[in-house]
Amino acid sequence: MKDRFGERFTFWGGGCDTRTVLPRGTPAEVREHVLKQTGIFNRCGGFVFQQVHNIMADVPPENIMAMFRAVAESGGRKI
């Protein structure tokens, strides 16, 4: 959809998989995943970063920080 409609859509969410990647991945895997997602959705603008669902209690704090840092690295503000 991003390739076809580009700047005519705003995508809200899809920035990080909270079911598999965020709770079970390493901080490096979280970073790689978020950078990939933001790279896709940020093309031509129109993307509001939001993880797929709520962050659950079993997510390691270092993974949450890796997610926020990757967003900042992808062009968001510094954390």
pLDDT tens per residue across span 15-57: 899 999 999 999 999 999 999 998 888 877 778 888 767 888 9
* 29, part of any domain: yes
* 9, part of any domain: yes
Number of domains in the chain: 1
pTM above 0.95, yes or no: no
**Tally of CA atoms within 13 A in the half-sphere of 31 that contains its CB:** 10
Task: Tell me the pLDDT tens digit for each residue of 55-70.
Answer: 889 999 999 999 999 9
Residue 49: how many other CB atoms lie within 10 Å = 22
Structural domain for 16, as ranges:
2-73
